[in-house]
Amino acid sequence: MAEKGRVCVTGAGGYVASWLVKLLPSRGYRVHGTVREPGDVKNAHLKKLDNALENLQLFKADLLDYSSIHTAIVGCDGVFHAASPVPSGTVLNPEVELIEPAVTGTLNVLKACSEAKVKRVVIVSSIVAVRMNPNWPKNQLLDETCWSDKEYCRETKNYYCLSKTIAESEAWEYAKRSGLDVVTICPTLVIGPMLQSTVNTSSQFILRLLKGGSESVENKVLNIVDVRDVAEALLLVYEKLEAEGRYICTAHKIKTKDLVDKLRSLYPNYNCPKNFTEVDEGAKLSSEKLQRLGLKFRPLEETLVDSVKSYQESGLLD
């Protein structure tokens, strides 16, 4: 396979980033992966990935430690910035735990990219930087021109949404000022098999639908995308010269109760929730821009079956 050069992936041990770190060597890239604790068991899976020995070099780096980030990025043609805190519950100090690492962390990565003369940076943003806006008319189709309202995120204490919205908007300001080539991907709920041994926040959501029998669950509209398709999307927008701006990344729209019905019919022995509370219709989203670039999404059933297989193998459904 043709050598395609060196790229850096931040937060390499995380759920989404691990799939990208797995994909890149199979497409000819050498990878610099940043992790906070190289020796930690939560990053052990990285060393077991195919070709990891020859193609993956791990760097100890914290987003708030500029020189550690710079060291990992030097020598790379491209950077995929995936590291950002994803909380699983209430956060006591959102400024310190979420906003600072997301925003200052992103700016540190971008500054290091400029210094290292990186050709393109792909940032993993989120749909929560697009759709949290009370002023969007209910039936409007949301596309890449839509931005979440920061004040609304703050007032409603959606600090994760706030952290992703500020981080992405600051990234675009930085790109405008510096001329750095930045592209962002805004995925919806990411599910699919896990490579890592610790359960990430979005996988917890599906596990709850397989185990949370007695809980009452909101019957909201879910927009879902497979983690392997997100990794493909990140590489696609990196490689396609014509890629520019933001890309919403979502494949399937389904109500929670319908998803639970699907899971129950595939796995009748698991204890899926039976009680649902009705909530307002969710946003209408389009991934047309990404699909026009050439991305194909896998069927939802494949995502569900592979997710459950991975949870079973990790003993999470015992």
For the segment 10-69, give every residue that binds ligand NAP (CB under 6 A). Answer: 11, 13-17, 36, 42, 62-64
Closer by beta carbon to ligand NAP, 169 or else 271: 169
Is residue 42 annotated as a catalytic residue, yes or no? no
- Per CB under 6 A, does 94 bind ligand NAP? no
The token pair at 135 is 């002023």
For the segment 189-248, give every residue that binds ligand NAP (CB under 6 A). Answer: 189-190, 200, 202
Closer by beta carbon to ligand NAP, 14 or else 193: 14
Question: Measuring CA to CA, which residue among 226, 271, 269 is closest to residue 249?
Answer: 226
Closer by beta carbon to ligand NAP, 204 or else 275: 204
Closer by beta carbon to ligand NAP, 104 or else 271: 104
Q: Which of 187, 192, 193, 273 lies at the binding interface for ligand NAP (CB under 6 A)?
A: 187
In whole angstroms, give the CA distance from residue 9 to residue 31. 7
- Identity of residue 155: E
Closer by beta carbon to ligand NAP, 16 or else 182: 16
- Residue of minimal Cβ distance to ligand NAP: 14
Residues in the chain: 318
Name beta bridge partners: 191.
226
The token pair at 102 is 């997301």
Q: Measuring CA to CA, how many Å separate 180 from each of 119, 255, 259, 301? A: 8, 39, 41, 39
- How many residues sit in the footprint of ligand NAP (CB under 6 A)? 26
Closer by beta carbon to ligand NAP, 271 or else 316: 316
In whole angstroms, give the CA distance from residue 31 to residue 268. 41
Binding span for ligand NAP by CB under 6 A among 25-33, 76-84, 236-244, 281-289: 76-84
Question: Measuring CA to CA, which residue among 116, 86, 89, 84 is closest to residue 101?
Answer: 84
Smallest gap, in angstroms, from Cβ of residue 3 to ligand NAP?
Answer: 27
Direct distance between the N- and C-terminal alpha carbons of the chain, in angstroms, rounded to an integer: 41
Residues 219, 98, 133, 296: is their CA dihedral positive or negative? negative
For the segment 116-145, give every residue that binds ligand NAP (CB under 6 A). Answer: 124, 126
The answer to whether 201 touches 16, Cβ cutoff 8 Å, is: no
Smallest gap, in angstroms, from Cβ of residue 8 to ligand NAP?
Answer: 12
Closer by beta carbon to ligand NAP, 194 or else 243: 194
Smallest gap, in angstroms, from Cβ of residue 274 to ligand NAP?
Answer: 25
Smallest gap, in angstroms, from Cβ of residue 98 to ligand NAP?
Answer: 9
The token pair at 107 is 């700016």
Mention every residue, 6+ apart, whose C-beta is less than 8 A from residue 292: none
φ, ψ for residue 149, nearest 5 deg: -90, 115
The answer to whether 43 touches 36, Cβ cutoff 8 Å, is: no
In whole angstroms, give the CA distance from residue 263 to residue 261. 5
CB count in 10 Å sphere of residue 106: 27
Binding span for ligand NAP by CB under 6 A among 150-158, 186-194, 267-275, 304-312: 186-194
Q: Which of 164, 255, 257, 289 is catalytic?
A: 164
Smallest gap, in angstroms, from Cβ of residue 206 to ligand NAP?
Answer: 10
Q: Which of 83, 260, 290, 308 lies at the binding interface for ligand NAP (CB under 6 A)?
A: 83
- The catalytic residues are 164
Q: Which residues bind ligand NAP (CB under 6 A)?
A: 11, 13-17, 36, 42, 62-64, 82-86, 101, 105, 124, 126, 164, 187, 189-190, 200, 202
